[in-house]
Chains A and B, each alone.
Chain A
Amino acid sequence: MSVLELADVVRVHGSGETAVHALRGVSLTVEPGELVAVMGPSGSGKSTLLNLAGGLDAPTSGTVLVEGTDLGGLSRAQLAAVRRRSVGYVFQDFNLIPALTAAENVALPRELDGVRMREVRRESAAALEDVGLSELADRFPDELSGGQRQRVAIARALVGPRRLVLADEPTGALDSRTGEWVLRLLRTRCDAGAAGVLVTHEARHAAWADRVVFLRDGAMVDETGKATPVEALLK
């Protein structure tokens, strides 16, 4: 089963003369193990696509399925539950809670979901181990470097049963080497079975994805698909 499936998704803001077509019939499927990068100029619909995929916004028409669940048919409470259990966000500015330790930040979505404390701690520790930050679990965000904070955010995005990570310019606030390590980590987590959607304007980072799709004026204009074999490139 696909982790994310957008089918002919349209999003129009406003109506009549002043209507803005943010997305004009976009379809995108992301399988477990897959990292998909979305590129396009500002205003092309990248953020709208990410918001729809995460259930933060609803399409004007078309369907959004997360792990097989049609978000369109859900009550507000059910939608919130899908967001807590299935979807994690990674932002440019990390969005960690300063008063909580790394472990507590990672644990938060599970706690909010009513999971037992012992289980929450186990999941949080496992998620931090997956991003190589076990030793720093008790540090607060301001005691971590930018790269480490983003690793915490990735751990939080994939804690417990969460399998879909939506990353919005996750390297925007990081230097080139640190940004690369964040991409390597996203790549590794997807190779381990997660599904990722990465919005970026940096081609060098998009290139870590299995597929790169290009948006323009709310429509998908092209994608890289499966790349050519290595040998062909080095001739």
Chain B
Amino acid sequence: MVRNGLLALLLRGPMHGYRLRAEFEASTGTTWPLNIGQVYTTLARLERDGLVAPLGEADAEGRVMYELTAAGREEVGRWFATPVERQSRPRDELSIKLAMALMTEGVDVHAVLQAQRTATLRSLQELTRLKAGADEVTDAAWLLVLEAMIFQAEAEVRWLDHCESRVSALPARHATPAPAADHEEVPS
């Protein structure tokens, strides 16, 4: 993502590393802070792959400008044209926690769901406060990033609501008992 982000920034014209970092953070509202080392390692890799090339000598402060090569230009075009694949998150902690809560006797799955919902709503409130203070025009890029997080949080709440109605519809005492050996009854 950093790699493609830097390539996209270089479409605007040649830049050195510090400028690239500043522009990246300006576009994404410092959601993903970059350290300068990361920028230079990425640039080195892009140069190795023939996607960017240094432009002239280092300036008085030792900074080298980089520009896109033709291959680099093609690569950015491909990036913009290709949809991002949904990440599969087979080890998503929340899903695992809910599955475990459902299958473990003595754990109140409704309480687990509610605790998560309250926490997610709280972050949604914070994100909304940030959004309320942002300027529609000057912060347009930052707003896009912010709204991505807002819609993701909203999706999580909707999913939790769905889980809740699913769990509520289950017959009582669905939980699988733990192995019989040394098993103590947990009152539900």
Q: B128, A234: Cβ atoms under 8 Å?
A: no
Residues of A within 8 A of B118 (CB): 212, 214, 222-224
Residues of B within 8 A of A234 (CB): 30-31
Residues of A within 8 A of B132 (CB): 184, 187, 208
Number of interchain pairs (Cβ within 8 Å)? 65
- The smallest beta-carbon distance between A190 and chain B, in angstroms, is 12
Residues of A within 8 A of B65 (CB): none
User: Taking the complex as formed, is A166 at the interface, i.e. its CB lies under 8 A from any CB of chain B?
Assistant: no
User: Taking the complex as formed, is A57 at the interface, i.e. its CB lies under 8 A from any CB of chain B?
Assistant: no
Residues of B within 8 A of A206 (CB): 121, 124
Contact segment of A16-24, A67-75, A138-146, A225-233: A225-233
Q: Mark interface residues in A191-235 (1 if CB within 8 Å of B CB, else 0).
A: 000000000011110111100101010000111100111100110
Residues of B within 8 A of A221 (CB): 114
- Can you spell out 11 A-B residue pairs with CB atoms less than 8 angstroms apart? A203-B120, A203-B154, A204-B128, A214-B114, A214-B118, A216-B114, A222-B115, A222-B117, A223-B118, A224-B121, A233-B126
Residues of B within 8 A of A204 (CB): 124, 128, 150-151, 154
Nearest CB to that of B123 among chain A residues? A233
Give the one of A187, A221, A227 with max B CB within 10 A.
A227
Give the one of A204, A216, A229 with max B CB within 10 A.
A204
User: Taking the complex as formed, is A172 at the interface, i.e. its CB lies under 8 A from any CB of chain B?
Assistant: no
- Interface positions of B (Cβ within 8 A of A): 30-31, 110, 114-115, 117-118, 120-130, 132, 150-151, 153-154, 157-158, 161, 164-165
Residues of A within 8 A of B123 (CB): 228, 233
- The smallest beta-carbon distance between B156 and chain A, in angstroms, is 8
Q: B125, A207: Cβ atoms under 8 Å?
A: yes
User: Taking the complex as formed, is A41 at the interface, i.e. its CB lies under 8 A from any CB of chain B?
Assistant: yes
Q: B128, A207: Cβ atoms under 8 Å?
A: yes
Give the one of A41, A202, A203, A212 with max B CB within 10 A.
A203
Instruction: Given A223-B118, A234-B31, decide whether A208 and B128 contact each other with a Cβ distance below 8 A.
Output: yes
Q: B130, A230: Cβ atoms under 8 Å?
A: yes
4 interchain residue pairs of minimum CB distance: A203-B157, A207-B124, A207-B128, A204-B154
- The smallest beta-carbon distance between A101 and chain B, in angstroms, is 30
Residues of A within 8 A of B126 (CB): 227-230, 233
Complex partner residue of B121 from A184, A187, A201, A207, CB under 8 angstroms: A207
Residues of B within 8 A of A208 (CB): 128, 132
Give the one of B128, B129, B151 with max A CB within 10 A.
B128
10 more A-B residue pairs beyond the given contacts A41-B165, A207-B121, with a C-beta to C-beta distance below 8 A:
A201-B161, A203-B121, A203-B154, A204-B128, A207-B127, A207-B150, A224-B122, A228-B123, A228-B126, A234-B30
